Every structure is written in C-alpha cells, then in structure tokens.
Structure 1
Amino acid sequence: MSATRYRRFLKLCEEWPRDETKKGRDLGTFLRQRVASAFREGENTQISDPEKCDQMYESLAQINGNIYRQRFPRVRDTSFTGVTVEECRLLLSGTMQNTDEEKKGLWKSLMQRFSSKSPEDVPEKPAEK
C-alpha cells in the first residue's frame, strides 16, 4: 500500500509548479525535499501513520488543484494594502535590488521622513556629565 502512496506523491511533485524566482524558498522544491526524506526507501518505505499520510496528500492535492481558489473566488486581485498580484510577486521574488532607502539606516530614514531638516543638519547633543 505504501507503494501506491509513494507513486501518488511522486505524481503530485511532478505536477506541482516551481517558481524559479524564489530560489531556496520555493514551495514546490520544499515539497520535493520532504517527499524524498519521508520516502527514503522509495516504494518499500513503511508508513507509521497511513491516515495522516493520506490526509496530507489530499490537502496538498486540493491546494495544487486550486480547489479553494475556485470555491472562494476573490472580488479583487489586490490586498487591503492595494498592492497588485504582480507587485506582490515582484516583492516576494527577492530579485529587487536594494534601493537607496534600504541602504540608509533606519534612524536616518525616519528622521528624513518626519523632519523638515535632514539628519545631517540636526546637531548632536553633547554628552551629559
């Protein structure tokens, strides 16, 4: 029976899409690694909890088949922040270069944002004795 489970998981891994923009953080790659570690002996692997294994497979198959996306369609393709799907994909891909804002320190960024003067213009307080 574990041979059937193993083949089902392999088929699911083949169908699961890979996102090349998320190197090291891709769900498809993670799934393949977990299946490989769970079924180390291939078809001869003994499953300690077959019910849990079947439940896990069914859940993953439903996610892969977009069952919940079809059952609960979204009204808009944005989130509460107003960020579109493409903007989210770009942000999560990790391919964005560091902007000047990210290169600055947090304190300087906050000071520039909330002050009429730049942080370089603000004199430092002398150390108290």
Structure 2
Amino acid sequence: MSATRYRRFLKLCEEWPMDEFKKGRDLGTFLRQRVALAFREGENTQISDPEKCDQMYESLARINSNVYRERFPRVMDTSFTGVTVEECKVLLSGSMQQMQQMDEEKKGLWKTLIQRFSSKAPEEAAEKASEK
C-alpha cells in the first residue's frame, strides 16, 4: 500500500508548478524535498500513520488543483494594501535583494541632500547623524 502512496506523491510532485523567481524558497521545491525525506526507501518505505499521510496528500492535491481558488474567487486582484499580483511577485522574488541595495544607495544620496540643504552648520548635522 505504501508503494501506491509513494507513486501518488511522486505524481503530485511532477504536477506541482515551480517558480523560477523563488529558487530555494519555492513551495514546489520544498514539497519535493519533504517527499524525498518521507519516502527515503522509495516504494518500500513503511508509513507509521497511513491516515495522516493520505490526509496530507488529499490536502496538497486540492491546493494543486485550485479547489479553493475556484470555490472562493477573489473580487479584486489586489490586497488590502493595494499591491497587485505582479508587485507581490517582484517583492517575493530574489530581485528584492537588488532593490534593497538600491535603497541603501538612495539613503546615501538622501543624507547628502539633507546635509547640503540643512540650515545648521555641517558639523552639527554630522554630529546629529552620528547620534542616530
């Protein structure tokens, strides 16, 4: 019986989509790793709790086949923050690290502008910046 479970999980792993933008953080990758750990011996793996295993498979299969997405359709394509799906993908992708580096560079420019246009003497502005 565990051979059947193993084959079902393998088929689910094949069907599960992978997101190239989230390398190492993708749910599909995580799922594949967990199946490999759970079924170390392949078809010969002994399952300690078959009911829990079947329940887990059914839950993952429902998520993969978009049962809940169809049952509870979204009215809008944005969240309460107003962020669109595309913006969420960019935020969650690996390119966020690049954006953070750009933000740090912008902070350097911002501090420079504040120092230039500050009404205080440059020495006082530098002291206040170092206190923060």
Alignment of 1:102-113 (within 5 A): 102-103=104-105, 104=107
Secondary structure of the structure 1 residue equivalent to 2:10: helix
Structure 2 residues without counterparts, runs of 5 or longer: none
Aligned twin of 1:58: 58
Structure 1 residues without counterparts, runs of 5 or longer: none
Alignment of 1:66-85 (within 5 A): 66-85=66-85
- Give, as a single letter, the amino acid of the residue that structure 1 aligns with 2:69: R
More helix by share: 2
- Give, as a single letter, the amino acid of the residue that structure 2 aligns with 1:51: E
- Give, as a single letter, the amino acid of the residue that structure 2 aligns with 1:46: Q
Q: Distance in 2 between matches of 1:41 and 1:26?
A: 24
Alignment of 1:40-59 (within 5 A): 40-59=40-59
Deviation of 1:23 after TM superposition, in Å, equals 0.8
Structure 1 length normalisation: TM-score? Answer: 0.80
Identity %: 80
Aligned twin of 1:31: 31
Deviation of 1:117 after TM superposition, in Å, equals 4.5
Q: Distance in 2 between matches of 1:37 and 1:124?
A: 56
Count of residue correspondences: 116
Structure 2 length normalisation: TM-score? Answer: 0.79
Deviation of 1:65 after TM superposition, in Å, equals 0.5
Alignment RMSD (CA, Å):
2.3
Deviates more, 1:74-83 or 1:94-103: 94-103
Q: Distance in 2 between matches of 1:72 and 1:117?
A: 54
